[in-house]
Structure 1
Amino acid sequence: MIKPQPYELICKKCGWSKTFAPASDVIQLGRDYVSACPECGNSELQHKAAEPMKG
């Protein structure tokens, strides 16, 4: 099993964003990713590596 790195999805249309940290390489819709913005429905989401958590 290869654990994916945490990543952030960002909607450039409305500004919604969420960081996902999958627990395994088995990715599930809704838990580990979304295919469209839950706020506005935009399906063109920006994907980027998550920034380190601030302590």
Structure 2
Amino acid sequence: MNANIIALILKKWSIFISIRYSQDVKDSLVKLHQEVRSLKSLAEEFGPSKDSIAIWFK
């Protein structure tokens, strides 16, 4: 199978791959959000969705 086709398939299905974040990472992102950072900026920079960070914040 062509490498480009494989890359396209992986990209398409990557939304279904679950990534587990350590408690330290979660705590760090929550602390940044509490201090001044928006959920959007944290999600864009570090990868977890805004919704995930919001859940950790609760």
| Smaller-chain TM-score bracket | under 0.3
Q: Which structure has the bigger radius of gyration? A: 2
Q: TM-score normalized by structure 2?
A: 0.21
| Structure with higher RCO (Cα < 8 A, 6+ apart) | 1
Q: Give the helix-richer structure, 1 or 2.
A: 2
Q: TM-score normalized by structure 1?
A: 0.22
Q: Give the strand-richer structure, 1 or 2.
A: 1
